[in-house]
Structure 1
Amino acid sequence: MQFTIHTIEDWQEIVNTITPDLKHNILLLKGNLGAGKTTFTQFLLKNLGSEDEVNSPTYSIVNEYNTPKGKVYHFDLYRLKNIEEVYDIGIEEYLDHSFLCIIEWPEVYEQELYDLKYHTMSIVNTGESREILFE
């Protein structure tokens, strides 16, 4: 699915559209700094019924949120240098015990997902809008 958004409020329409299509418990978020990955996650968690405050996990690496359907883990792998550091945070344990894992900057870990099913959302900030591709 492809979307174009022009305002922050447009994220809600995207979340409403893709939430029923979330069939896998892993969602990779790709996009440059400031593209809207965490903003999207805020809208998604609210849509999933979470009352938790959603913040970027840039420094904590992973944030945990509660939803009526189960735990959601929100990762930011930007600062991790290699796959060993990803395994050191226990990512496999999170993947095994979650309703949903949202992974920002997944490139350092993506090759390890070859045998798992997951969704990918790419966000491109064009300056005037954001172009979104959800698979």
Structure 2
Amino acid sequence: MEFKIDKIEDWQKIIDQILPELQHNILLLKGNLGAGKTTFTQFLLKNLGSQDEVSSPTYAIVNEYDTPQGNVFHFDLYRMKSADEVEDIGIYEYLDNSFLCIIEWPEIFEEEISDLLHHEMSIENKGEYRVINFR
């Protein structure tokens, strides 16, 4: 699925299309700094019924959010230096005990979870608009 958006309100249209397609508990979220990964996550969690304030997990590495469906864990692996470091934070426990794990900057750990069922979403900032691909 590919989408093009040019204003923040358009994220809701993306969520409306993607939410029914979420079948797996892992969502790899790719995009450059400032592409809109956290903004997407804010809209997604609101639509999942979370009352929590959603923020980037850049420094915490992982944020936990409550939803009626279960826990959602939001990771930012940007500062991780190796797959071993990601494993050391207990990522497999999170994956096993979540309704959904959203993983920003997943590239460093992508090979390790390639065999697990997951979705992938990329956000490309084109200046005046963004192109979103979801699979």
Under TM normalisation by the shorter chain, which class is it?
over 0.9
- Aligned residue for 1:42? 42
Q: What is the rounded CA distance, in whole Å, between the counterparts of 1:14 and 1:63 in structure 2?
A: 23
Instruction: Tell me the TM-score normalised to structure 1 length.
Output: 0.99
After the TM superposition, which parts of structure 1 deviate over 2 Å for at least 4 consecutive aligned residues?
none
- Aligned residue for 2:73? 73
- Aligned residue for 2:130? 130
- Aligned residue for 1:108? 108
Q: What is the rounded CA distance, in whole Å, between the counterparts of 2:15 and 2:52 in structure 1?
A: 17
The aligned length equals 135
Could you tell me how far 1:115 is from its partner in structure 2? Answer: 1.5
**Residue deviations 1:36-57 (CA, integer Å, cap 9, x gap):** 0000000000000000000000
Aligned identity (percent) is 71
Which runs of 5 or more residues in structure 2 are unaligned? none
For 1:24-43, what aligned pairs fall within 5 Å after superposition?
24-43=24-43
Q: What is the rounded CA distance, in whole Å, between the counterparts of 1:48 and 1:111 in structure 2?
A: 28
Q: What is the rounded CA distance, in whole Å, between the counterparts of 1:95 and 1:133 in structure 2?
A: 23
- Aligned residue for 1:12? 12
- Aligned residue for 1:98? 98
**Residue deviations 1:25-84 (CA, integer Å, cap 9, x gap):** 000000000000000000000000000000000000000000000000000000000011
SS state at 1:57 partner: coil
SS state at 1:74 partner: strand
Could you tell me how far 1:114 is from its partner in structure 2? Answer: 2.2
Q: What is the rounded CA distance, in whole Å, between the counterparts of 1:93 and 1:117 in structure 2?
A: 16
- Aligned residue for 1:55? 55
Q: What is the rounded CA distance, in whole Å, between the counterparts of 2:105 and 2:113 in structure 1?
A: 14
Which runs of 5 or more residues in structure 1 are unaligned? none
